[in-house]
Structure 1
Amino acid sequence: MAPMPSFDPESAWGADLGFSLLLNGASTLFHSDSVLSETVTALRAEGYQVVDLDASTWSTQAAMHDALASALSFPDYYGRNLDALNDCLSNVAEGAYGLNPDLLGLVVVVRGFDAFVAVEEQAAHVLLDIVERQSRLAALFGNRMLWLVQSKDPDLRLPQVGGRDVVWNAREFRNRGATA
């Protein structure tokens, strides 16, 4: 597997969607289904691998672990706890599994995240904190890992992860939820 080079400074600013999304951290919030769908379509067209998850069905941490393990091809020995999740996502960041080396990077779409926050607030926060850390690790290995986090609640506020705010995408930043 050949690592993905850093973004090209000549084309990254404004022209590279992956760059724009990663600029403020690994996770970007979305409210509008159409804005999220357009973003996913554009990232696929740029050559990203997209994994789509529905967090509104995660009524427990166990459900979250099962969904992530299946979607990202975690090994059978995955311990299904937050420490094990951190370990497995570090392996994804390194490209051991869950990441197609022939594509530009990994995009994990997590729909209905606000529903998971409502039932497992601490686990939801730790998940995004782990994602932030492991996305940085991925970059060190020449890999790209982005998470698009959709909320049906346009006023969802999340604590900082990795010393960063989890921010709304540029199209919905000023008027969250107003885009159809």
Structure 2
Amino acid sequence: MSAFDPDSELSGDIAFRLMAASFVRLFWRHAVLDQAIDWLLAHGYQVVRLDASAWTREEDLHTAIAQALEFPDYYGRNPAALNDCLSDVTTFEYGARRDATGLVIVFTGYDKFAAYCPDVAQLSLDIIATQARTAALFGHRMCCLVQTDDPDARFDPVGAMPVLWNDAEWLDSNRHPG
């Protein structure tokens, strides 16, 4: 799937409205989430739903994601491995269908998991946001919808991009000769 068409009327495109501001979006009301999911499904998106409400440890998150996205058996069940495997999802190695308009990962009851494992919950959303941005470079639409039963839920920013040196000058020695 290509990027969104700038010549199209996008105000009614729920996917565009969701992804334009952030690749990870919060939902409180189940009805609002269900309405968004119904629209996405009707427009060819692959939707992967994960109920996080019973997760009490990091392993629960990794087990559910690995199963839902068909991660390989060697998946390490840690944040670095999640990042690695999601990078393969962005390039359709597994977990994402090429014939779908895009991939939407949906977490419900995420606030309950975040109460048990706040750092892992935050880091996982950050990894997903970062990989969704990478997917966009390949024309692969990807986002995460996070339902919380806490109407005041807050997460730190996700998917932040550092300002980096170019490839030829990233080593200090390449900028400070001799």
What TM-score bracket applies, with the shorter chain setting the length? Answer: 0.7 to 0.9
Report the aligned-residue RMSD.
Answer: 1.1
Pair 1:98-2:78 in alignment: no
3-state SS of paired residue (1:52): strand
Aligned to 2:10: 13
1:56 aligns with 2:53: yes
Structure having greater relative contact order (Cα 8 Å, sep ≥ 6): 1
What is residue 121 of structure 2 aligned with on the other side?
124
Distance in structure 2 (CA, Å) of the matches to 1:12 and 1:26? 20
The answer as to whether partners of 1:12 and 1:19 remain within 8 angstroms in 2 is no
- Find the counterpart in structure 1 of residue 172 from structure 2: none
Of residues 42, 46, 50 in structure 1, which corresponds to 2:39? Answer: 42
1:78 to 60, 75, 78: 75
TM-superposed deviation, 1:12: 5.0
Give deviations 1:154-175, integer Å, cap 9, x for gaps. Answer: 00011111239xxxxxxxxxxx
Q: Show structure 2 runs of 5+ residues with no match.
A: 162-178
Residue 88 (structure 1) aligns with: 85
1:174 matched residue in structure 2: none
Structure 1, gaps ≥5 residues long: 165-180
SS across alignment from 1:103: coil
Give the corresponding residue for 1:143.
140
Separation in 1 of the partners of 2:7 and 2:45?
A: 20
Q: Which runs of 4+ in 1 moved over 6 A?
A: none
Larger Rg: 2
2:63–2:77 CA contact under 8 A, matched in 1: yes
Over 3 Å counting, the alpha-carbon distance change for 1:14 and 1:82 in structure 2 is same
User: CA separation in 1, counterparts of 2:7 and 2:116?
Assistant: 44
Find the aligned partners of 2:106 and 2:56 in 1 and give their Cα distance.
Answer: 18
